[in-house]
Structures are given as C-alpha cells and as structure tokens.
Structure 1
Amino acid sequence: MLGLCTAADIKMIAAKRTGGGSKQLFIRREDEGSIELYILARQEKVARQAKAPKRSSPRERLKIYFDNLRNAGALLPRRGRLPNKVAIAKAAEIDRNFLYKKECIALLGAFDVEDRFRASIGKRDDLADLNRYLAEIRRQGTLLPRMPGGKPNKRGIAAACGFRRNLFYSNPAIATTLEDFAWNEGVGKP
C-alpha cells in the first residue's frame, strides 16, 4: 500500500502508536478513489504493452533493410568503395556497433558482394587506389598532404583514397609505398 501511495503521489497520515512502536499509516477517505484509478491505469498500460508488436531483432531489421534495397533496385550507401556503416545503421534503425559483430559482418559482406555485382563496382584494391592517388599528385605537381611536423597526413591520404587510415599500419605494402613516395618527394623522410 505504501508503494502504491508513493507512486500515485498520495500523502499518507502517520499516527503514533502507544508504547513507542512504528507509526501507523492511513490515507484520507477521499484518496481511496485515486488509488483505484492508479491501479486501473497501471493494468491498462501493462495490457497495451503486451498487445504491442515486439520489435524485431537488429539482425532482422538489417535483413529487411537489405531486402528493401534489393526490391527497390537501390544500392548500399558507400564511402569511397566501402559500405558506409553509419548510414546503413541509421537507415536500418540499428546500433552501429551491431555491424561489427560476427553475425552481421557475414551478412553485410554477402550483401556487399551482391551490391557490387549489381552496380558493377570492382573489387576493392587499396594498394592500387593509393598508387592512383600518388600518380595523380605527381601528375598535378602538388605535394603530399603533410602534418605540421612534416609527416604525411595519413588520415587525409586515406580519405582521398577511399580506405581507412589503419591500413597504413596493418598493410606493409601500403606503408612502404607511402614512405617511398614521401622520401622521393624531396621533403624529407616521414
């Protein structure tokens, strides 16, 4: 009863007991109806929640999103040649972190292959993309973007090539290609 009165915001009256025991709590007679209304409202809320359709799992929502893209003939949002996971998560109404779980990586990878085939997007070749970018810099006669200390701006270079900066650290061929180009550019060793 104390919990109901607190939840319904009903003030209780405390009466002292003889002998110094705990106080006896009472409610006003005019507040009896308020408790009954609160109980009925709570029961209706529980009933509505039970009848409401359960929200599908993130995996199901992602599958539905892919099916809708397939049926509409639309393509995955991309950033460079990579699927744009932020845009995919927003469109599918899922948490972006779900896209990095094993169950989702395979699903996204399979749809990405299908999507590339439908759009005639070639297979991703990060080293070739970097070489094309460096050749274009050489052709234009501009310098490699650099940080204030003189090191190549790997974030800017990676964005221009359409891949992530971590490839400079995980792919030795890409790292060596960039270092050689920066060294031969004459500005100094990165």
Structure 2
Amino acid sequence: MCRGPSTPLILGSYVYGRYTEKEELIKLLVSDCDDTNRHRVAPFCVIPVIGMGGIGKTTLAQIVYNDKRICEAFDNGLKNLFSKKRFLVVLYDVWTESCDDWNKLLIPFFEGDQRSKIIVTTRNEGVASITGTLAPHRLQEMSHDACWSLFLHHAFGVRGLDMHARLKEIGEEIVKRCKGLPLAIKTQGGMLSSKLDILIGLRF
C-alpha cells in the first residue's frame, strides 16, 4: 500500500535544458490551434508530448502548466473545480505502479468533499494495491447466456435468431472461444456482421 505525504504539483520553476521546448509549448497553448486534425479525436486541441521514459515529459508539462501566461490564458486548476464539491471520477486502464505518480494525481482532489469517490479500472494487481482504499471489485467472466445475447446483438442485430442453423453453430463456437470476455465478443461479433451477407449467400 502506498504511504507518505502528498507531493506538490511541481518542484522548482525551471526546466534545465528545456527552455526552448517550454517556450514552444506555451506558444502552442496560448495561440489558436490549426483546424486540420482537431475533429479527428476531439473537438479541442490535443498536443502530444512524446519521449522515452525519464526524459522529462511530465516535468516539462508541469512547468508549462504553472507558468503565469498559462494561468492567465486558461480557467486553470482542478483544485478550484473540485473545491468543496462531491464528485465521482473514473480513471480508465491505469497501469503505473508508482506511488509518487499516484500522489501527484490525487493533489487536486483533496479540495473536494470527503464523500467523493474515484473509480480506477486496471488489470494490474499492483495498481489495485496502491490506489485502493477498499477491497477491489473483481469482475468475473460473463455467463454463457449473457455472452450469447451480446454476440447476437453485434453480429446479427435486428435479425437475431432468424438465421441458418449453421450460422448459429458458428456463432456458438465463436462465443465459446471468447471465454466470457465481452470485448472479444463484441469484436468477433462485429467482424462476423461485416461478412454476414456473404455467409448468408453460401450453402452450408
């Protein structure tokens, strides 16, 4: 279990050797973004910062985040957003087992109501141990009936069970191989759906 005091959002106010990168990033943030790819992923601008582990991506982002120009340009600060409010936050597919990273992430949330909740989804037992204040809620494989219903929806849609007996056999075998995992079932069902017209035209 992770222990220790909360860490500040940032230590110091200068990124050694990264002045140029800092200024370039701030310029991008305070100016209007190019519209070329804006709606490809999100309706707002997303600026990736890429580099190998330990190269200083997080530190650079923190320095930029706390720069006076950024504070003046944006309605900045999760602390103000969560202050005295009861919130529910969901963090998807968390994988890092760093106590330090987790402590930094939690800092803005301490301003909220103590009745607030955070849900962390992960496949990593170490993450569950570090982040959880309650026993983990463990998801088991779905039942066969639930899997079959999900598969029908994604593979055959409104056609449902109105299919050739051989197609049903194929579907049952696919569901069996997915071993109760809904993502696998949806993926396989979608793949079968895209080929359904061809399969229906075949003679079994």
Flag whether TM exceeds 0.5 (same fold): no
Q: What range is the shorter-chain TM-score in?
A: under 0.3
Higher relative contact order (CA 8 A, sep 6+): 2
> Larger % of helix: which?
1
Q: Could you say which structure has the larger radius of gyration? A: 1
TM-score between both structures, scaled by the size of structure 1: 0.26
TM-score between both structures, scaled by the size of structure 2: 0.25
